[in-house]
Structure formats: C-alpha cells, structure tokens
Amino acid sequence: MASLITCPHCGVRPKEEFSIRGDAVPVRPAPNAGAEAWYAYVYVRDNPKGRIQEYWHHAAGCRRWLVVERDNVTHEVFSVRDAADVARSGSGEAA
C-alpha cells in the first residue's frame, strides 16, 4: 500500500508524514546546457502509468529525501531508498 512507506531510517510510516516532490527520473542538466535541455528538464513530463520513481521528503520524520519506487495503479511499493545513496550509486560520484 502506498499509504504506508517503509523509510530506510524510520521504519513503516503513514504517507501523511511525507511530502512528494515528483518524478525522480529526470537528470538535472549541466549549467551550460542549452535552453532545449533545460526546457525539457523543467517542463516536459511524461504521465506514465505503472511503475514510477518519485522523490519523497520525510518531512515529519528524519527529514531526508527518499526515492520511492511504486506502482501508481496498484499502489504497490517496490523500494524506498535514501536519495543521497541513490545519487552516489548512480551515474557518477556526486549529484
């Protein structure tokens, strides 16, 4: 259930403790990237159905940014990871 999020630091918590920022898939372009890249990063969004990744902020708990992978049809949660860990393990050294 998406209404219960298992925070990697705090354990099982109700969704009321979190605020959702949005899609965690777009990667921030370099500062000198062209207007096209920035336009796409800021405004252009898919509206996917199914498995999605989102940034969730545990506002009333550990106040860490998390990356929640969930299904927006079945509300099933597949994984919850600290956003800092995701950034470190992802594309390069630091986000």
Q: Are strands 65-71 and 77-82 parallel, antiparallel or unpaired?
A: antiparallel
Q: How far is the CB of 40 from other proteins (least distance, A)?
A: 33
Q: How far is the CB of 78 from other proteins (least distance, A)?
A: 22
User: Which one, 59 or 73, has the nearer CB to other proteins?
Assistant: 59
User: Which one, 12 or 30, has the nearer CB to other proteins?
Assistant: 12
Q: What is the DSSP string of 20-67?
A: EEEES-PPPPPTT--HHHHHHHHT------SEEEEEEE-TTTT--EEE
Which residues in this chain contact other proteins in the complex, by CB under 8 A?
9-14, 16-17, 58-64, 82
Q: How far is the CB of 63 from other proteins (least distance, A)?
A: 6
